[in-house]
Structure 1
Amino acid sequence: MEINLGHLAFDIDFHPSQQLVTTGLINGDLHLYRYTSDSVPQRVLEVHAHSESCRAVRFINNGQAILTGSPDCSILATDVETGASIARLDEAHGSAVNKLINLTESTVASGDDEGCIKVWDTRQQSCCNTFKAHEEYISDMTFAADSMKLLGTSGDGTLSVCNLRRNKVQAQSEFSEEELLSVVIMKNGRKVVCSSHIGNLLLYSWGCFKDCSDRFVDLSPNSVDVLLKLDEDRLITGSETGLISYGIWMNYCKVLQIHQGLKQLQRTAIVTIWIWIRILRSLTKVQRRKMQAKIVFREVQMIFLLIYRWRVEYGFSTLVRHFSWTNKIPIVYVNFIMCGREGFFI
């Protein structure tokens, strides 16, 4: 199905229990549509919510209201049934509101263009927590309910971890040259995945947020603007090109890391062989034979120890099943042996 909105849409959200979808537009309008699989979506609500663009929308209170945020610094709550304004905070932030997310049944979080994150109680219509977490705009946030920690990404290239119980920024990553645009928690809370404006994915291990543990490059030629968690192992990504990619498996990312590691290992092997060739050429024939055997044994042992470590770390029963070309690395050393026996160094 396709809906012609007439204006550029900034954000969408789906109702938690009904077939309703809401969107915020660049002209400040809020639209609500009812959809079914066998009919054209029907617009059931249209509200001019803000004087400027409507950047963020979220269903709150179990879908009874829609929360919107705008560059006019206001946050508005609109009744789903009537379209009436429930509450408006005109000076909710000191700068443009860029992001809204649900935390619990009665709390939401908002982020603005100056890096400030606020937590709101929807019942009391008041601010519970304020975090000056970043230096630039808040691009995305996600919530770890079990630990009561709010994670945020920013255009300043950092990931922040805000502790709601202690009301402080508990951890923050080092500055990256890449703008971080989206964040999700994967692998049952063990991994945090961030996307960047140059198409990379950065993986952080939970509790070790200072620097990313893995970085997967060249996954997209364009920015990866949105990450959507499908399950604990799979992601859906949205790009600035308008393309939606399904099936970026975390296991695939592991395999990709092995692929990158083996390519680096192959380059290292070639350089090492070149160095040993220079050394061997300076020796006598007898010395070369003895030294060559020691070199080959040590280098091949290093290769297979690294491959074994990857197998244990990533839980693969065999690397050959995933990479039929992994046995090409030791072939370099086999050729090295054969060249020596055939008199290449003589």
Structure 2
Amino acid sequence: MPTIPVGAQVFDLVFHPTENTVFLGLLTGEVKAFKYDDQGSASETFSLQPSKKSCRGLALSDGGSKLHVVGKAKSLHTIDVASGKSVEVKTGIHDAPINRIKRLFRHMLCTGDDDGVVKLWDTRQQDAIISYNHHFDFISDFMWIEGKRHVVATSGDGSLSVMDVRSSKTKPIAQSEDQEDELLSIVPIRDGEKYVVGTQMGILSIFNKAKGWGDCVDRVPGHPHSVDALCTLPSSFSTSQSTILTGSSDGLLRVVQLFPTKLVGAIADHGEFPIERIAVDLDGEGRWVGSVGHDEALHLTDLQEVLEDDGDEEEEETDEESKEGTSSKPDKNASSDEGEDGEEDSSAEEEDQKSSAKKDTCNDDNRKRKPKQLDPLGAEKRKKRKKGKKDVEADATFFSGL
């Protein structure tokens, strides 16, 4: 797994939609860009510090020519990707530090701050189009529903809300009940029929489009710590409609299948450091998933390698076993001129050879089928940690599929 040191804690990352380039927002206020190749080797293309205060959110314009940057300084900076230089600054656009930003469609952005205020922006105008004040705690994540022209916001106040960008009303069209936990991340599954929300206590809350936004319809336990980031798999994977990637504060990047619920495995480990953000390159359809957090590095994980090689190895083992089984069968057309005593001795020798070959095959299979695995539950880490007041114990049956 390639690891790219960047020199400071990373708050956000965004991949270019068509090129092998990734942009990082750092605690120091710097924005760094890296180009990477098919092996994950990377080189820095530019580094810019638009603010001395932390950069918390990044969003690319349509086509990836402009990079929008927000953070603790309460300003919106626009960087030209080709030159790596700042081309526009809007200062004081929020009264509180800005925590998240998302591009909705061409020229349209939304931002959310630490006080729960959400604003919509047309990048061609100086002032915000509209401002929403129905949340009272930080905005943690946004999700865009293209067909409905709705933007969904999750908040630390325990609720999520839905806003119609075509409406001039300053109230959301829907807001959930208090979920009694901080809502930290959101992602759609099953072509937008259901939505998965990550929480502070490690529960995955499932919302159903047909049931509305009032309350979740299911809760999936299992993560021992908060689920800070969520991401979908590329559509090229057969299970992409019901499988997600989760980034947790225990430092593990997991692949989790829903309906039925199953932990596929932990595919990256940031050690003792929380994961802040995860994303898949090439507009979510690439092979690399990037994960960042407090360990001052970008981790790139090859999804094709970690999710497809296991199946290939099993097929190879099955083919080998089939060949070995075929070679051990006696030749039915062979004739023997030996007497009864000779036939018994020959038969005994063949049985001994078969028994020995079978033991060797079993030993080889055992060696092949015991690959080194990451600790998916972070059991060793939990032993060292003092349980927080919002931590929950994982249900072991949730991970029985491993």
Using the size of structure 1 for normalisation, the TM-score is: 0.70
Question: Secondary structure, in 3 states, of the residue corresponding to 1:120?
Answer: strand
Whole-Å separation in 2 of the counterparts to 1:39 and 1:249:
26
Q: Is the 8 A contact 1:28 1:53 kept in 2?
A: yes
Using the TM superposition, give the Cα deviation of residue 236 of structure 1 relative to its aligned residue in structure 2, in angstroms: 0.5
* Aligned partner letter, 1:161: V
Q: Superposed, which structure 2 residues align to 1:20-35 within 5 Å?
A: 20-35=21-36
Per-residue deviation, 1:254: 9.7
2-structure distance, mates of 1:253, 1:88: 46
The corresponding residue for 2:227 is: 224
- Retained in 2: the 8 A contact 1:62–1:105? no
Question: How many Å separate the matches in 2 of 1:48 and 1:194?
Answer: 33
Q: Distance in 2 between matches of 1:151 and 1:18?
A: 28
Kindly state the Cα deviation for residue 42 of structure 1 after the two structures are TM-superposed.
0.8
Residues 1:78 and 2:79 aligned together? yes
Q: 1:16 to 1:39 in 2, by over 3 A?
A: closer
Identity of aligned residues (%): 32
Give 1:41 shift.
0.8
1:67 and 2:68 correspond: yes
- Give the deviation of 1:214 after TM superposition: 0.8
Aligned Cα RMSD in Å? 1.7
C-alpha contact 2:33 2:46 (8 A) present in aligned 1: yes
After superposing the two structures, state which structure 1 stretch, 78-87 or 15-24, moved more: 78-87
User: Match for residue 245 of structure 1?
Assistant: 254
Taking a change above 3 Å as real, the CA distance of residues 2 and 254 of structure 1, as seen in their structure-2 partners, is: closer
1: CA distance, partners of 2:80 / 2:15: 15
Post-superposition Cα deviations, 1:62-92, rounded to whole Å, max 9, x if no partner, equal 1111111111111100011112212111111
Q: Secondary structure at the match of 1:211?
A: coil
Question: In structure 1, the residue corresponding to 2:28 is in which secondary structure?
Answer: coil
SS of equivalent to 1:151: strand
Unmatched segments (≥5 aa) in structure 1? 256-346
Relative distance call for 1:213 and 1:254 in structure 2 (3 A) is farther
Determine the structure 1 residue equivalent to 2:193: 190
> Which residue of 1 is the match for residue 129 of structure 2?
128
Residue of structure 2 equivalent to 1:45: 46
Which residue of 2 is the match for residue 282 of structure 1?
none
Q: Secondary structure at the match of 1:57?
A: strand
What's 1:308 paired with?
none
1:169 — aligned with what?
A: 172
- Correspondence 1:202-221 to 2 at 5 A: 202-206=205-209, 208-217=212-221, 219-221=222-224
Task: Give the match's secondary structure for 2:260.
Answer: helix
Equivalent pair of 1:233/1:251 in contact (CA under 8 Å): yes
Query: Distance between the aligned counterparts of 2:77 and 2:182, measured in 1?
Result: 28
More relative contact order in 1 or in 2 (CA 8 Å, sep 6+)? 2
Q: Secondary structure at the match of 2:24?
A: strand
Contact 1:97–1:110 (CA under 8 A) maintained in structure 2: yes
Question: Matched residue pairs, number?
Answer: 253
Aligned partner of 1:337 in structure 2 is none
1:140-169 alpha-carbon deviations (Å, 9 max, x no partner): 010101011110101111011111122430
Task: Give the letter for the 1:193 counterpart.
Answer: V
Matched residue type, 1:103: L
Q: 1:38 to 1:121 in 2, by over 3 A?
A: same
Q: Which amino acid aligns with 1:10?
A: F
5+ residue gaps, structure 2: 234-239, 264-402
Match of 2:56 in 1: 55
Tell me how far apart the structure 2 counterparts of residues 81 and 189 of structure 1 sit (CA, whole Å).
Answer: 34
Q: Secondary structure at the match of 2:191?
A: helix
Is the contact made by 2:139 and 2:155 (CA closer than 8 Å) also made in structure 1?
A: yes
Aligned residue for 1:91, secondary structure, equals: coil
Which whole-Å CA distance do the structure 2 matches of 1:36 and 1:93 have between them?
A: 38
**Paired residue secondary structure (2:5):** coil
Structure 2 contact 141–185 (Cα < 8 Å) conserved: yes
Question: 1-side partners of 2:261 and 2:147: how far apart?
Answer: 26
Q: Which shows bigger deviation, 236-245 or 159-168? A: 159-168
Aligned to 1:236: 245
Amino acid aligned to 1:189: G
Mapping of residues 326-341 of structure 1, within 5 Å: none
Contact 1:140 1:181 (8 Å CA) reproduced: yes
Deviation readout 1:249-298 (Å, 9 max, x if unpaired): 2212399xxxxxxxxxxxxxxxxxxxxxxxxxxxxxxxxxxxxxxxxxxx
Asked whether the 8 Å contact 2:179–2:215 carries over to 1, the reply is no
Shift of 1:232: 2.6
Shift of 1:39: 6.4
Distance of 2:183 and 2:34 partners within structure 1: 31
Stretch of structure 1 that moved more, 124-133 or 69-78: 124-133
Question: CA offsets per residue over residues 152-199 of structure 1, 9 Å max, x none?
Answer: 101111011111122430111111221000011222222121110111
Residues 227 and 39 of structure 1, relative CA distance in 2, 3 Å threshold: closer
Q: Equivalent residue for 1:303?
A: none
Q: Going by fraction, where is helix more abundant, 1 or 2?
A: 1
What is the letter of the counterpart of residue 216 of structure 1?
Answer: V
1:188 touches 1:232 (CA, 8 Å); kept in 2?
yes
Q: Structure 1's 94 and 2: CA in aligned 2 closer, same or farther, altered over 3 A? A: same
